[in-house]
Amino acid sequence: MASLAANLGGGNGVLLSIGFTLANVSESGFAAWLLRNRTRRRDSFTDPKGLVWFCIAAAAAAALSATIAACATTAVGISFWLSWFTTDLLGILIVAPLILISGRAFYRKRFRDGLAAAPQAIAIFLLVASVSIIAFSQVNYSLLFLPMLAVLLAALRMGPFGAAGSVLIVATASSLAHIFGSDPQAIADGQAYARSIFLQFYLLALFAAALPIAALLATRQQLIDSNANKLRLLELAEGAAHVGHWHLDLLTQLITWSDEVFRIHGVENRVPPSLDTAIDAYHPDDRDAVSAHIGRSLEHCVGFEFTARIVRPDGEVRHVFSKGEIDRNGVNESIGLFGIIQDITTQVAHEAEIERARTRAETAARNAIILAETDQLTGIANRRRTSFVLEQTLLLARETGHPMSVAMFDIDHFKRINDTYGHHTGDEVLKRVAAGAAAELRSGDTLGRFGGEEFVIVLPDAAADAASKVAERVRHAIGTDNCTPGVTVSIGVAEMAPGETCDALLRRADDALYGAKNEGRNRMRLAA
C-alpha cells in the first residue's frame, strides 16, 4: 500500500505504479523464500556463511525486482535496471539487518541487555554521524575515508548491529548531501546519474567491508565464549574425575599442565616443571619405566599408557594412570605429546582390597572343602571323599583298561581297647593306625576312614598282587609298632572285575576282611 501510494503520488500511472509495487513486494517475498526454503539457513549476521547466504538472497531478490520494474516501464535500458538493482540491494543490505537484529532481540526479550549497551551505542552512532556530516557537508576535500573508519569502529565495538546502523547513518548523511548538492569534490564533478551510482557503490563498499568484519569478530567472540565455557566444564569434569590433561612441546621442551595435574602432584605452584623434573616426581622404582614409555613414544611416534606411582612433596604416594598420544602439525610431523593423567589411588586401594577379599574367600573355600572331605580325628580322607575317589578311579580304569584294587581293613579287638584304656586312648590308636598306614602307601593311593575303626585304601593301576603287597606292608607296619597299646589289623583286598560297581567291589573287599578275621585276625586275605 505504501509503495502504491508513493508511486501514484510521484506522478506515475496506475499500471506503472502497480508494476513498481509488484516489483517491490516480490523482492522481499522472494528473498524470504530463498532464505527459508532453499538455503535452509537461519538469518544470522554473526555467522559468515549465514551472512553470505543473506547477501546472495538480497542480490537475487533485487535482480528479480529490477527485472519486473524494467518490464513494467517503457524506459527499458541497462541504466534503469542497474539503478533499480543497486538502490534496492543497498536498501535491503542496510535496513534489513537492523530490522532482523532488533526483531530477534525483541522476540528473545533481550531489552535489558539492549538498555545496558545503549549509552555506548548512542556515543558510537553520534561519532559516525559527526564524521559523516564532516565528510559530506563540504566540497573542497575528499574525506570519504573518514566514514569508513567510523563504520569499522562501530563494527568492532557493536558487531553486526553497529555495522548496519552506522552504514545507515552514512547513507542518510550522504543522501542528504546529494540532495542538497553538497557532495565532496570527488562526487560533485560527475553528472547526476554517475554521482548517484558512485554514492550507491560507495555505500555498498562500506557494507561489504563492515558487516563481514563484524560477523567474523562476532564469530570469534562466540568461539572465545564457547571455548571458555568448555574449558570451565572441562575443569569441572577433571576435578570430579581426578583427571588432568598435559602437553609437551618437543621443540621447546615446555610442559603445560591443567589445574588438576597440579592437584594430583600436590603442587601449589602454577608453573609446570621441566620434563626431567616431571619424571623425577615419580617413585624411584617407576622412573625408568616411565622414561622408557615416553622415549619409545617419541622414537616410534606412537601413543603410550602406563600406571605408576607419584611421590608428592609431602611424601604421600599416589597411584596414577597416564595415557599420551603424538601431537602432529599440518604436514603430519610430530611436534609434541599430549595426554591425560588420572589419580587412581582409590581404585588401586579398592582393587587391592578386592584381591585380599578374593584370597580370603578362596582360602575359606579350600578350608571348607578340606573340612567337608577330611576326617577330623585322623586327618585323612573321610567316607565322602573316599567314595568320590573310588568312583573316579573305577571310571578311569574302565576307560583305560588299567587294573585297580581296593583294600579294606579295621583294627582287631578295637572295642576291647576302648573298654580297657578309654576312648581317648582309642582315638590316639586310630590316629596312630592312620599315620602308619599312610606311610606305606604309594604316591597315587588314597587312604580314607570309612567309619569307626574301619579304613579303605583305593589303589589305582594296581592288580591283586600289587595291591596285596601294599596291604601286607600296611599290616606289618601297624603290627610291629612299639607303641602302647599294641594293635593289629585285618585286611581284605579285592581287584576290580569287569563291569563291577563300587558297591560290589567294596562288598568283596569286606568279605575278604571278615575272612581274615575268621582265620585268626592280623592277616591279609585276597577276595575271590
Give yes or no: residues 22 and 146 share one domain. Answer: yes
- Cα 265 to Cα 98: distance, rounded to the nearest angstrom: 54
Give yes or no: residues 422 and 317 share one domain. Answer: no
Full DSSP string of 94-152: HHHHHHHHHHHHHHTT-HHHHHHHHHHHHHHHHHHHHHHHHHHS-SSS--THHHHHHHH
Give yes or no: residues 28 and 110 share one domain. Answer: yes
Q: Which residues of the chain have pLDDT under 70?
A: 38-46, 48, 75-76, 105-117, 139, 180-195, 197, 234, 269, 329-334
Residue whose cell numbers read 559523516: 132
The set of cell numbers assigned to 479 is: 603290627
Asked, for residue 235, whether it belongs to a domain, the answer is no
Give yes or no: residues 418 and 511 share one domain. Answer: yes
- pLDDT given for residue 63 in this prediction: 92
The 10s digit of each residue's pLDDT in 44-54 is 666 767 777 88
- pLDDT given for residue 184 in this prediction: 60
CB atoms within 10 A of CB 155: 28
Asked, for residue 192, whether it belongs to a domain, the answer is yes
- Cα 475 to Cα 427: distance, rounded to the nearest angstrom: 19
Residue ending a domain, choose from 330, 348, 366: 348
Q: Find the catalytic residue in 27, 440, 453, 495.
A: 453
The total number of structural domains that make up the chain: 3
73: left (phi over 0), alpha (psi -120 to 50) or beta: beta
Asked, for residue 230, whether it belongs to a domain, the answer is no
Told to judge if 453 belongs to the known catalytic residues of this protein, a careful annotator would answer yes
- pLDDT given for residue 420 in this prediction: 92
CB atoms within 10 A of CB 9: 9
The 10s digit of each residue's pLDDT in 321-331 is 999 888 876 55
Give yes or no: residues 314 and 463 share one domain. Answer: no
Give yes or no: residues 186 and 247 share one domain. Answer: no
Asked, for residue 401, whether it belongs to a domain, the answer is yes
**pTM for the whole thing?**
0.48
Asked, for residue 236, whether it belongs to a domain, the answer is no
What distances in angstroms separate CA 405 from CA 184, 521, 525, 527, one per listed residue? 127, 21, 13, 10
- Cα 37 to Cα 33: distance, rounded to the nearest angstrom: 6
- pLDDT given for residue 182 in this prediction: 62
Give yes or no: residues 336 and 385 share one domain. Answer: no
Structural domain that includes position 450:
374-526
What residues form DSSP beta bridges with 326?
A: 337
Length of the chain in terms of residues written = 528
Asked, for residue 508, whether it belongs to a domain, the answer is yes
Give yes or no: residues 174 and 295 share one domain. Answer: no
Asked, for residue 312, whether it belongs to a domain, the answer is yes
Backbone angles phi, psi at 225, to 5 degrees: -65, -40
- Cα 456 to Cα 473: distance, rounded to the nearest angstrom: 15
- pLDDT given for residue 223 in this prediction: 78
Residue ending a domain, choose from 156, 187, 220: 220
Give yes or no: residues 25 and 150 share one domain. Answer: yes
Asked, for residue 359, whether it belongs to a domain, the answer is no
Crossing angle, helix 192-241 and helix 160-179, to 10 degrees? 170
Residue ending a domain, choose from 220, 254, 270: 220
Give yes or no: residues 267 and 309 share one domain. Answer: yes
CATH of the domain at 393: 3.30.70.270
Give yes or no: residues 516 and 448 share one domain. Answer: yes
Give yes or no: residues 320 and 385 share one domain. Answer: no
CATH of the domain at 277: 3.30.450.20
